Amino acid sequence: MLSYLSVSCVRPSNEDQQKMINFDPASSLKFKPNIVWIVAEDLSPILPAYGDSTVITPNIDRLAREGVVYTNVFSPSGVCAPSRCALTTGMYPSSIGGHNMRVQYVKAHMDQLGLELYEVVPPPEVKMMSQVLRENGYYCTNNDKQDYQFKPPVTAWDESSLKAHWRNRTKDQPFFSVFNIGVTHEGHVTRPYRKQLMRYHDPDFPESTGNPANFGDKISEEDWPLNIPEDMDVPVPPYLPSTEIAVNDIRRVYSNIIELDRQVGIIISQLEEDQLLDSTIVFFYSDHGGPLPRQKRLIYDSGIKVPMVIRYPGQIGAGYYDDQLISFIDFAPTIFSVSGIKIPDYVQGQAFSGKYRSRKERKYIHAAADRFDAQVDMIRAVRGDRYKYLLNFYPDKPYYLPVKYREQMAIMKELLRLKEIDSLDTYQAQWFREEKVKEELFDTWEDPHELHNLARDPDYAGKLEELRVECARWMESINDMGEIPEAEILENFWPGREQPVTVAPSYEVIDGELIFRSATKGASIGYKLYGFNESAPEQWEVYTRPLVISVDTRIEAVAHRLGYAQSESIKIEFR
């Protein structure tokens, strides 16, 4: 058994916890901070900072020692695309039609359902969070995953690529940089990482290792060893079997965490090398819960509860735990808040830090499960600090629905094998019940794996009614689109199943200033400005105000509303 490094975090006493309610680590900042997001995939809070000592994670432990560990952070979905839709908009996916998994990709799934690939069309006022930051002077980079349920416009990022990095910005420009680390993804419980996922291997990772043309290839089996002993004991949740085949997949999950931690360390080292660590707010979190069966895709805590550690400049709040409820829809308003940017009215979340921090902490978080691949279901969840309510809209459907991608995993095959020979125990068999109950209620303190439904226990009738009412209130307040057939949503977004096209910018010159407009409501305009003897820059600027023009200048401009096709470009010359 491996030993582990204690993170020396201090859970506050009741008195100190009361003080923490009014404590905001970002409140004392006297400057516009840089912001870095380090985003893992498919990871529950199974880290030393959360009491799981199975593997050593020195770099995440360091963030925990020097930052704040948040213990109640939840994605609004148990899968990536809806969750990332929420992260980038600050809106619940089911309120804008982004609740079904991957509407843009995997044509075979859509063909089975008689649908077309499409993009979500949010209300016209909605912008990607990164664009709002760019409009306020930030240099914004994404390395590299997107998966927002719509194509990002050219105004969304200064860079979005495998080489995107804050180091390419103008000197002293504040930055928002996202680094997606995919080694903990469900797919890499089954098979080796793609080479592109190892791009953080090299301390100079913007140049990466190897030829980017080959990044889609997998590394060799020899380069994908278990980072932990093959006979090491690992925790097995009660809903999963403890056979050697199953346990080996769980070992791989922990092995991947070690690789994740090493890559986190490289990014932190680069901030130190650039003398930026103490002017940067560093977020570490994952896009939803764990990769294993009965985790990913579901909205039990195993599918939506995530680790989050934030290191604030100057190590403000170092070593503390913060137990407030936080949802992914709170991330965008919090980023605006710590950057001193007024939160747009359309945002449904609330800031948990910064200038515009909400005066009232959350009482509940909310989550949704809908279509996954070609399997259609609908579940809604409400969770307070202790009790969790789930409402099953299709109780005639089984809990377990076959998803081919998940069935590649050895542990999933093992579950199905044991089911076939009637060798699952009571907890393991729960997921394979042929019908659901309409309502579920769990005490997450006493029953963290959500195995004992209290909905029919009269002692909990009051709590059941409270959360039932809250679920209905929330769904109505956000105009939840879950009960609308996806074909109808598609037709509403793209009439005749044809993608609408953004109208190209029009322009006029008034008093030496160039003014752009687009007839498409909600369209953003990107432009490139360069001299006659210059090549057009790669990067599009965000149009926010009239441009002062001069002679011997070329300008190219496009317009793009989220969910629409980008307009044709227009080119203007001033001689």
Active-site amino acid positions: 80
**Whole-angstrom distance, CA of residue 100 vs CA of residue 323:** 30
Measured CA distances, 15 to 11, 363, 386, 479 (Å): 11, 20, 20, 40
Residue 150 gets the label, from left (phi > 0), alpha (psi -120 to 50) or beta, of beta
- CB-side neighbour CA atoms (13 Å) of 511: 1
**Whole-angstrom distance, CA of residue 323 vs CA of residue 403:** 34
Query: What are the strands of the beta sheet with 524-531, ordered from one edge?
Result: 541-542, 524-531, 553-560, 570-574
From 499, 512, 504, select the one nearest 546 (Cα to Cα).
Answer: 512
* CB-based contact 96:119 (threshold 8 Å): no
The total of other beta-carbon atoms located within 10 Å of residue 544's CB is 12
* CB-based contact 120:103 (threshold 8 Å): yes
The Cα diameter of the chain in Å comes to 81
Residues 417, 419, 421, 424, Cα dihedral to 10°: 110
Radius of gyration of the chain (CA): 24
Structure tokens at 321: 């735990």
- CB-side neighbour CA atoms (13 Å) of 472: 6
What would the 3-class secondary structure string for 290-324 be?
CCCCCCCCCCCHHHHEEEEEEECHHHCCCCEEECC
Q: Which helix (H) or strand (E) holds 439?
A: strand 439-443
Residues 12, 14, 15, 21, Cα dihedral to 10°: 70
Q: What amino acid is encoded at 205 in this protein?
A: F
